[in-house]
Amino acid sequence: MAEAILEVRDLHKHYPLTQGILFKKQVGAVKAVDGVDFDLHQGETLGIVGESGCGKSTVAKMLVNLERPTSGSIRYKGDDITKLSPRALKAVRRNIQMVFQDPYTSLNPRMTVGDIIGEPYEIHPEVAPKGDRRRKVQDLLDVVGLNPEYINRYPHQFSGGQRQRIGIARGLALQPEIIVADEPVSALDVSVQAQVVNLLENLQTEFSLSYVFIAHDLSIVRHISDRVGVMYLGRIVEIGTDAQIYDHPTHPYTQALLSAVPVPDPEARAHRERIILTGDVPSPANIPSGCRFRTRCWKAQERCALEVPLLAVPAVYRLTDSPAKHDSACHFAEEKHVVPTEEDTGNGGEGPGGNGGNGGNGGNGAAGAEANGGAGPKPL
């Protein structure tokens, strides 16, 4: 595997909750990001998925320094960018750019496309001297599939997909190494989503980019990602290659998310077991003790309320070659096929719910509690 270009360790972002008008007193904190760890390798795409409010955008903003972490580190090629001087940070920021979710609100309606894409050159004139900027911007328009003649147009003269291309061109202006794309296609029509994803893939090859790609939609993340991290309530609960996460998930939350992904093939759909999570996501100001997923987990046991599960390879898989051997923050992590494979549907495969027979998890009885089709939170 290529070397890590970004190393994120124990990253936290807590927003203080205050009370009082004159004398503000802190009465708690919204733990938007609460201990996130991951590496991004040179040239890869790391997908990050999770429900609304789990902290994805907050992670993205910290990576590009739009938010300062409460604690933790973000190392870019070995240097912790949370501790750099403003001058050193400016140089690093050039290399980590963001593409935002909403192409309608992220572009200033009063600026021409040329000014929007060329704006980063005001801060980094060394990348494009003044006389060279118009040509550079036109090159960028061409690279993202827009007519360079459109340089003097305004954002409202473009479609949603075209505006997102403008956002991508702006992200590329400083020739970054890393692009953090926060739901870059969520606001677009399905037909346009694939075009923008394809464009991102082509640009990755052309410019050797590394991506952090954030989305709700698990199928889009799979399409573009080499590895996928699943977030729940401020933490990554499972991370692995796309095949490990989609075909061999071991965390109950990942399994529930996957069981809700639309399956076009009717036969595969018939074989699929839906795991319906009941109960709301707890408030990030009031995170459950032990495992933060326990209030919605159908496998929860007493231990889950007492001990925080670490993000690590589960003990049962540590000495195996199983694809289930990847990091999962669950005391009772166990592989479960959720998205049916050809084996499951076609020729006598074991069917969804077959867990590969890993021999249980130390006699905890969790396997017996699984697959109830969404019985909701267990009383603890």
Bridge partners (DSSP) of residue 327 are 239
Nearest Cα neighbor of 228 from 218, 239, 243 is 239
Q: Which amino acid is at 289?
A: S
Q: Give me the least distance between CB of 94 and ligand SF4, in Å please.
A: 40
The two beta strands, 227-232 and 45-49, are: parallel
Nearest residue (CB) to ligand ATP, 58 versus 162: 58
Print the binding letters for residues 17-56 with Mg ion: x by CB under 5 A, - otherwise: ----------------------------------------
Residue numbers 265-284 binding ligand ATP by CB under 6 A: 284
Q: Closest approach of Cβ 331 to ligand SF4, in Å?
A: 4
Q: Which residues of 168-177 are buried (b: 16+ CB within 10 A; e: fewer)?
A: bbbbbbbebb
Smallest CA-to-CA distance from 45 within 246, 202, 225 is with 225
**Residues near ligand SF4, by CB under 6 A:** 252, 291, 293-294, 297, 299-300, 304, 309, 330-332, 366
Q: Which does 53 bind (CB under 5 to 8 A by kind): ligand SF4, Mg ion, ligand ATP, none?
A: ligand ATP
Q: Which is nearer to ligand SF4, 246 or 253 (CB)?
A: 253
Nearer to ligand SF4, 194 or 367 (CB): 367
57 binds Mg ion (CB under 5 A): yes
Q: Residue-wise over 268-280: b if at least 16 C-beta within 10 A, else e? A: beebbbebebeee
Q: How many residues does the chain have?
A: 380
55 binds ligand ATP (CB under 6 A): yes
Measured from the CB of residue 16, what is the shortest distance to ligand ATP in angstroms? Answer: 8
Q: Are 201 and 168 in contact (CB under 8 A)?
A: no
Kindly list the residues in this chain that would bind ligand ATP in the complex (CB under 6 A).
15, 30, 32, 50, 52-58, 284
